Amino acid sequence: MAQLTVSGGRLGLRFESVEKALGLVQDLSVPVSAVVSVAVTDAPFSVAKGLRAPGFALPGRTRIGTWRSAGQRTLVAAKKNQPAVVIALRGGKYSTLVIGTGAAAELAEEILAAAPDAVLAETDVCVRSGDVVLSGTHVRPATTEPVAQVLLLPGSGEVDRNADHRRIPLGVSRDLAHAFAARGIASLRYDKRGVGRSTGSYLHAGISDNTADAAAMLAWLQKAAHATDLPVFLVGHSEGAMIAELLAADQSQLAGVVLLAAPGTTGEKTMSWQTRQLAQALPPFVGAVIKLPRIDITKQQRKSVAKLRTSSTDTLRMQGRTINARWQRELLDFDPATVLPHITAPVLAITGGKDLQVNPDDLEIIREQVPGPVEVRRPANLTHLLRSDPKPASFASYKKLVRKPTDADTIDAVTDWIAAHASTRV
């Protein structure tokens, strides 16, 4: 396979003759100053996403060539499940290199040592949670020792370590992790069970399972990571914020907890509030169409809740699709009032004024019930997707909003808060 070397301030990539012919690639040389980040992965094909143009792929075995997606151009020379170095670049022909090698970890460290402008280094990790193996990414600053570590907890749904769903690629966890690394903060993020490279079943997992998984990842971060004496923080979004509340209630040694779009009332009350927002946010035409056959959205929601309450199986057919009934039942019963009074770590709670899934007024409940230091923020235009939107709040705007980056002010607020509280623990 292709050979990657570091010499004289440059990365050199040399292909074999057959690889050049099959993948339509040429030898490459780039300055190490172009390196933004270096990662080591055991699943290189998960990084090489998009369309092959041009290149060669032997299904399930080998990829050589160029893969393109959404402004990204990735040069790949790797075998499936072979360790590989993943190098993000700036200002060149390719945005990423994915090069398979048995010495991926050693080569990554060599590249980082030679790349003065690199921001972060990423490493794949696997953590066992009961009979499930969770796959995640540990991120650390590239050239300095970390000052703190963060466990990132994503929102609801079948989302991966980046907080990406196949229909709504949020990227919130990835964006936060990269921003943290630039400030000297390490982090761990992971694929939820049954998603990405984690084993298990998403459809059969309840909030209790997701909390157990988060606890396993937190234990890894506290005990098995590179710097076990660093202050540790939790950052959770939506369902992840609920899980952060549950974990923090039992973890007195945490340095801080960040709750992004966290409910302050029971899951049943939050779902009822969401339904009312949906009814109010419907476009006039849609609202008129619903009224013609006398469809009452609120009444329908109450029927759905009643059906869930009488069910006992992990899954359930509802409105023509299979849902995770166990997760829904546990959500209905979740009550922040049982955990918030037990959180002693400092808390930063942020919910946007245009959040349609969590009532921003719940910020005051969090402020009142958490006994430790609490700071709350309510950015006027921030939505549940952690994107800013100056227009009236609407579920219909979600598809457009995900094309925007995660709100920079929110990322800065979280990063600054963690950095400030980390410095007080040193």
Q: Give the model confidence (pLDDT) of 131-173 as tens digits.
A: 999 999 999 999 889 999 999 999 999 999 999 998 899 999 9
Tokens of 148: 């703190």
Helical packing angle, 239-248 and 207-223, nearest 10°: 60
Task: Mark which of 99, 118, 137 sits at the end of a domain.
Answer: 118
> Among 86, 94, 8, 91, which residue's Cα sits nearest to residue 44?
86
Q: Is 317 helix (H, G, I), strand (E, B) or coil?
A: strand
Radius of gyration of the chain (CA): 23
- 261 and 350 within one domain: yes
Q: Tell me which residue has tokens 């009332």.
A: 265
Give one DSSP letter per residue of 184-230, joined into a string.
TEEEEEEPPTTSTT--S-STT--HHHHHHHHHHHHHHHHHTSS-TTS
Task: Mark which of 86, 118, 150 sits at the end of a domain.
Answer: 118
- Which pLDDT score, from 0 to 100, does residue 294 have? 43
- 255 and 348 within one domain: yes
- 138 and 113 within one domain: no
Overall average pLDDT of the 280-289 stretch: 46
Q: Where are the strands (E) in 248-372, listed by range? A: 256-260, 315-318, 321-324, 347-350
- Which pLDDT score, from 0 to 100, does residue 287 have? 39
- Which pLDDT score, from 0 to 100, does residue 289 have? 36
- 170 and 38 within one domain: no
- Which pLDDT score, from 0 to 100, does residue 422 have? 93
Overall average pLDDT of the 192-199 stretch: 96
- 209 and 159 within one domain: yes
CA–CA gap between residue 205 and residue 24 (Å, rounded): 45
- Domain span at residue 418 reads 122-266+334-426
Q: For residues 16, 19, 20 and 22, what is the CA-based torsion angle, rounded to 10 degrees?
A: 160
Q: Omega into 341 within 30° of 0, i.e. cis?
A: no
- 313 and 183 within one domain: no
Tokens of 352: 């946007």
> pLDDT category, 291, cuts 50, 70, 90?
very low
CA–CA gap between residue 165 and residue 159 (Å, rounded): 5
Q: Tell me which residue has tokens 């009643």.
A: 306
- 345 and 279 within one domain: no
Q: Is 3 helix (H, G, I), strand (E, B) or coil?
A: strand
In percent, how much of the chain has pLDDT > 90? 79
CATH code of residue 203: 3.40.50.1820
The verdict on pTM exceeding 0.95 is no
- Cβ distance 382 to 354 under 8 Å? yes
Amino acid in position 387:
R
CA–CA gap between residue 84 and residue 62 (Å, rounded): 12
- 276 and 226 within one domain: no
Distance, first Cα to last Cα, the chain: 46
Looking at every residue in the chain, the average pLDDT score rounds to: 91
Provide the domain count of the chain: 3
Task: Mark which of 332, 351, 370 sits at the end of a domain.
Answer: 332
Overall average pLDDT of the 395-421 stretch: 95
- 261 and 214 within one domain: yes
- 229 and 169 within one domain: yes
400-412 residue pLDDT tens: 999 899 999 999 9
> Residue 224 is inside which H or E element, if any?
none
Give one DSSP letter per residue of 99-164, joined into a string.
EE-TTHHHHHHHHHHH-TT--EEEEEEEEEETTEEEEEEEEEESSS--SEEEEEE--SSS--TTSB
Q: What is the distance of C-alpha 388 from the center of its chain?
A: 18
- Cβ distance 246 to 335 under 8 Å? no
> pLDDT category, 308, cuts 50, 70, 90?
confident
Q: Where are the alpha helices (DSSP H) in 34-149?
A: 104-114
Q: What is the distance of C-alpha 272 from the center of its chain?
A: 27
Overall average pLDDT of the 42-51 stretch: 88
- 353 and 325 within one domain: no
- 249 and 184 within one domain: yes
